[in-house]
Structures are given as structure tokens and as C-alpha cells.
Structure 1
Amino acid sequence: MLKFDAATAQILEEGYQGADVSRRRRASFDALSPCGGERILDLGCGNGLMTLELARAVGSRGHVTGVDPSPDMMAVARTRCEGRDNVTLLQGAAADLPLKSDQFDKAIVLQVMEYFDDRTPCLHELHRVLRPGGRLVIGDIHWDTLAWHSSDMDRMTRMIDVWDAHLAERRLPALLPSELRTCGFAVDHLHPESLCDITLRPDGLARMMMILIRNYAISSGGIPESEARAWFQEQQDLARSGQFFFAITHFVVTATAR
């Protein structure tokens, strides 16, 4: 699994503010449709980017609670949301939320569920803390949609196979609708947000993933360091020669607590 330590937090801090990840975040934000005065849970709040945006949207009469298990990510979130009286940040686990029942009007979970082998405890907890009729938005990537060009596709396959070990479920958006219904939610909408690049942009998702995948492959020992670095260099070379291609689809699921 990917460790959300200080080094990873720094990579994500840069990449999450780039155009691609901001677009994914905005798709989930729009699906949630936060309003003034609402109480909202940001589960897996990470570095607090979504938390801060929600805090602005709900205003002084509303409140946003961010929950995350990583102390390093929470440290970044606390700095980002410092001085916001309508934000509470709690370190905690998704399967055992340190929260009262029927506490929130809405909840958002962005790029979190793919790390759980069993999502049922988390979904039950979300149902518990949401009021009846409350809205839940979950955003996650379906990793089977990844298309990434390489002149050495065997090596690309090995790199992606190693990267797959950082998560528990690569097909999450296909499984979520039935899992949500089982846990007491009505599924309202499933929206695809596709990203495609033919340039390697400094603030793009592909660039962030290249760094994360290279570092993860080396640190996990799943592939020789020389091979991981050669893969990274090849992508840079392809970009310089106008042959770069990267595409992936993020899905936003909107549901209602029954």
C-alpha cells in the first residue's frame, strides 16, 4: 500500500493543485453542490484542499469536518485551514468514525475507497453519520481505463503491475453502485470525468503519477531501480519528441442515504 508519509504528502501537495487533479476535485465538488449553512464531512481529507473549498462554500453558518488517518497529511491540512472557525480536523479511521450519528447533511469521499479491501464498514459508517436524505459523493479512478503509451509496453506493464499493489481495488467505480445499495443508499448518478494528455505538463496528473510510480516501484523493491528510472526517462523522451499519450477516467458517484 502507498504510505502517505511526509515525502508523499509533499508530492501530492504540488500535484493536487495542478489542473487535472483540480478538475477531478471540482467534479466531485459540483456533484456535492454544497450550500450555505450545511454541515459536511470530508472523509479522507488528506491535505485539506477540498476541506477548505467546502468551508468557503458553506460559510460561517455551516461547518466542515475533515477526517484522515495520516498524521503527515493532517499536518498539511491543519496549516491550510488554520484560522477557519467552521472547520474541524480529526485523525481517525473510516471504518470507525469519531462522529455522532445523523450529524451531516452531506459527505464527500475523494480517492479513498480504492484503498479498502472491504468497503462495507466505511459505507455503513457514512450512512450512520449522514442524516436521512443526506447526500454522499464518492470520486475514484477505474484503473482499467488507464491507457499509457510506451515504446516498451512490456516494461510499462511491469511498472503498472507493481503500482497496482498500492491499492486494494482497481475497479472500484464498477463495484460501488451495488455496494452502496447494500449499505442503505440510493444511487442517483454516475459521472465519468476523462483526462487525456498528449503533452507532459508540469502540473498534470501524468507527471504526478510518474513520480509516485517511480518512487513506489523503487521503494517497494518490485522492480529494479535502473528499470524504473529508464521507464521514467522514456516518458520524458517521448514527451520531447511529441509521442506522449496518457488517458484515464475518474468516476463520480452520487447517492442518497435512505
Structure 2
Amino acid sequence: MLEFDAETTRILDTAYQGADITLRRRMSFDALDIRPGEHVLDLGCGPGLMTQELARAVGPEGKVTGIDPSPVMRDTAMERCANEPAVQILDGTAQSLPLGDGSVDKAVSLQVFEYLDDLSGPIVEIHRVLRPGGRVVISDMHWDSWVWSSDDRDRMQRMMTAWDSHLADRLVPEKLPEELAAAGFGHIRTIPVTFCDTVMKPDGLARMMLILMVGYVQQNNLLPEAEVMAWQSEQLARAAEGRFFMSLTQYVTVADRV
């Protein structure tokens, strides 16, 4: 669990609503092809940014159910969506969805499956709650696509390996088509979205990753403090010198319940 002070939280909130992370949500949103009046499941709704956007799209006759196991995230989502009557926020997990069979039209999950030890169980659950003809959109990073330049490649690799330890599965996008087909989904397609930062944008993915990585590695004592600080300083210096480069690809997987 990462804990942040007020200033770091403010920086991260800026990133969540910045261009890079907004694009991540937008790609999933567009793939859903929302129609007015639909019931949409936002699995792992987090602070409710996607939930709120979905509520606006389904309109007053529709419904959006956000599900998250974190009380802090649920409280944040409920506060954000307080003026959205279409929204309900529920406690639940991907392995056991608190919804009836065939009760939703669409389901979306953004950056959740890479934290799950088991992919098949949650996919079967999504299949259960979707109506026939319904659609699921699952978006996660493929961490083998991650490139981050450094003058000290060995240190960079140690930082990336340390960050990997917070994931349950770093290869989710390549596994999803087979898992979805096995669960009874069809019309499966995959859409790549590559983020490439050559400057340290204040609201960008790279800056958010730098903050998250430093916090995670420090709080879990995965590397010596001096090494973490040297890595951070190097990246900030490279950005100031115009030598910054970080790239990572998200894959949006879309499937229909046939």
C-alpha cells in the first residue's frame, strides 16, 4: 500500500486528470460504445473518474455500477459522483461480483487485471453478469513494452524490477484473448495505445510513474535509499537537459458475449 503526503497526492491527482491518463480512460470509453439507458459496470472504479464519465453517457435512464474493494476509493468515487443519480458504488471484487446474471449491458475494467492472481475467474464472472450481446473492455499495460532511458542501465533495471513486484501479472494483454475465448466471448480484438514521453510533463504518465516508483520502492525497502534518490535525480536532470525518454503501451481488449 502506497501512502502519500498532501503535495504528492495533489501531483498525482493532476496526472489522473491530465492528458495521458485521460487518454487511457478515453480509449476504453470509446471501445464500450455506450448507448443511452444502458447499465454499465465499472470494475475497479477507483476514485470514480471513469464512473462519472460513464454516468454522463448513459443519461438519466441509464445506470452505472462502480465496484471496488477499497473503502477509501469507494468514498472518493461516491463523493465525485454525488450529483450523478445513475451511479451506485458497491463493495466487491472481480472474483465475486455483487450483481445478478445478465444484469449489465457493458463492463469496463481499467488497470485492474494486472493486479489479479487469476484471470479466468473474473472473466467468467463478467460473462455471467453481462447480458447476451453485451460487451467487455479490459485495459492494462503490457510491461514488456516498457522502455525508460538512463545513463545507468543497471540501476534502471533494478528500479524497474523492484516496481514489477507490485504486479500480479505483467503480461495480461497477451493472455486475455485466450482467456476470453475460453469463457465464451467472441469478436475479440486488441487495440494498442502507446505513451511516449520525451519531456517530463507535469500532468504526464512519466512523472506519475516516477513518483509512484520512488514511493513504492522506498516504502517497501526494496533498494537502498541512496540508489533510489540517485535514480530520481538522474531522471530529473535528463529531463532538464532534454534527454528524457519513457515509453509504455496499454492494450485495450474488447470482446462481446455471444
What is the CA–CA distance in structure 1 between the aligned matches of 2:26 and 2:117, rounded to whole Å? Answer: 27
Q: Which residue of 2 aligns with 1:247?
A: 247
Post-superposition offset of 1:120: 1.2
Question: For 1:21-61, what per-residue CA distance to the aligned partner results, in whole angstroms no more than 9, with x for missing partners?
Answer: 11111011000011111100000000100000000000001
Post-superposition offset of 1:248: 0.8
TM-score normalised by structure 2 residue count: 0.96
Post-superposition offset of 1:94: 1.0
Q: Which residue of 1 aligns with 2:167?
A: 167
Post-superposition offset of 1:233: 1.1
What is the CA–CA distance in structure 1 between the aligned matches of 2:67 and 2:216, rounded to whole Å? Answer: 25
Q: Which residue of 1 aligns with 2:99?
A: 99
Q: Secondary structure at the match of 2:26?
A: helix
Q: Which residue of 2 aligns with 1:118?
A: 118
CA contact (8 A) 2:27 2:252 kept: yes
CA contact (8 A) 2:133 2:256 kept: yes
Give the stretch that moved more between structures: 148-157 or 68-77. 68-77
Q: Among all aligned residue pairs of Structure 1 and Structure 2, give the percentage whose two residues are the same amino acid.
A: 50
Post-superposition offset of 1:14: 3.0
Any residues of structure 2 matched to 1:67-216 within 5 Å, and which? 67-216=67-216
Question: For 1:136-173, what per-residue CA distance to the aligned partner results, in whole angstroms no more than 9, with x for missing partners?
Answer: 00011000001100001100000000000111111110
CA contact (8 A) 1:138 1:254 kept: yes
Q: Which amino acid aligns with 1:77?
A: A
Post-superposition offset of 1:133: 1.0
Q: Which amino acid aligns with 1:235?
A: Q
In structure 2, relative to structure 1, the CA distance for the partners of 1:187 and 1:176 (3 Å cut) is farther
Gaps (5+ residues) in structure 1?
none
What is the CA–CA distance in structure 2 between the aligned matches of 1:52 and 1:4, rounded to whole Å? Answer: 25
Q: Which residue of 2 aligns with 1:61?
A: 61
Q: Secondary structure at the match of 1:247?
A: strand
Give the stretch that moved more between structures: 221-230 or 42-51. 221-230
Give the stretch that moved more between structures: 209-218 or 3-12. 3-12
CA contact (8 A) 1:133 1:257 kept: yes
Gaps (5+ residues) in structure 2?
none
Q: Which residue of 2 aligns with 1:17?
A: 17
In structure 2, relative to structure 1, the CA distance for the partners of 1:94 and 1:65 (3 Å cut) is same
What is the CA–CA distance in structure 1 between the aligned matches of 2:28 and 2:9, rounded to whole Å? Answer: 21
Question: For 1:71-99, what per-residue CA distance to the aligned partner results, in whole angstroms no more than 9, with x for missing partners?
Answer: 11111111100121100000111101111
In structure 2, relative to structure 1, the CA distance for the partners of 1:244 and 1:73 (3 Å cut) is same
Q: Secondary structure at the match of 2:243?
A: coil
CA contact (8 A) 1:4 1:73 kept: no
What is the CA–CA distance in structure 2 between the aligned matches of 1:220 and 1:213, rounded to whole Å? Answer: 11
CA contact (8 A) 1:38 1:63 kept: yes
TM-score normalised by structure 1 residue count: 0.96
Q: Which residue of 1 aligns with 2:41?
A: 41
What is the CA–CA distance in structure 1 between the aligned matches of 2:93 and 2:2, rounded to whole Å? Answer: 14
Q: Which residue of 1 aligns with 2:227?
A: 227
Post-superposition offset of 1:10: 6.1
CA contact (8 A) 1:4 1:72 kept: no
Give the CA RMSD over aligned residues: 1.5
What is the CA–CA distance in structure 2 between the aligned matches of 1:231 and 1:58, rounded to whole Å? Answer: 45
Count of aligned positions: 256
